Amino acid sequence: YGRALILAGRPTDARQVFDTILKGDPDQRAQGERSIALLKMYQGTYGEAIERFRKATLLSQAPRRELTEARNRMFLASAQQEKGWRDSAAAELRAAHALFRKAYFEPQFLLYLGKALVLGQQLPLAVEVRDTLAKRVQPNNVKDRAFLMVLSGELALARGRADSAVGLLRAAYAHEETPYVAESLARALVAVGDFAGATRLYEAFGANAELWYGMRWQEFGTRAFYAAARVYERLS
């Protein structure tokens, strides 16, 4: 409901909804803190978002809550990266990786973790996650195969193999047409010089907050137009 209010242009009402969740049990309070943090990221107030994500992380530190804690740590890392706090962000990603070693994470979340590690320049950890993802892919599951292609494409791009990355990411995008995959493909297209193709992707998903607000890839949606503008600079 809060998300719907935000997309309707009513963030104040959404915040009131989120505040009601803070009166529940620890799981509910963690969800409330994370919801407020995502709203603050959307509004560009990253300092408060970081504090809220920290509270959500503390509240989710409980037995059998490894996935929730890892998710909160990754959101926290993304906010810290936007503030330029790379060391703090790297520490949160390592903590999320440590949780991956303790608990079972499904293929989609392994993609999220692996891509975050690649973007955080922690390639050995990302490779470990990719190898685990490869073992958990169900042969007949198209989405699982797409997740593996995305993470493999991210690793190829990080290693300077842009052409290979584009091939993998185009194939993945054909099956998983989300802003999360589009963002990876856009960066790969920039690397091979297809600036027009990259800007089309950035503008397409940046213009539709419904596709990314409140999702794991919200950070990419909020700066999609900025990314497109940087590409346009290279075209001028």
Let me know if 91 is exposed, middle or buried by CB neighbors in 10 A (0-12, 13-18, 19+).
Answer: middle
What sections of 162-217 are H helices per DSSP?
A: 162-175, 179-191, 195-206
CA distances from 182 to 43, 48, 53, 217 (A): 23, 28, 26, 11
**Mean pLDDT computed over every residue of the chain:** 95
Model confidence at 236: pLDDT above 80:
no
Model confidence at 41: pLDDT above 90:
yes
pTM, rounded to two decimals: 0.93
Instruction: Please report which confidence band the pLDDT of residue 25 belongs to, taking 50, 70 and 90 as the band edges.
Output: very high
Tens-digit pLDDT profile for residues 67-100: 999 999 999 999 999 999 999 999 999 999 999 9
Identity (one letter) of the amino acid at 139? Answer: P
More confident site: 149 or 236: 149
Tokens 């903590």, residue located? 95
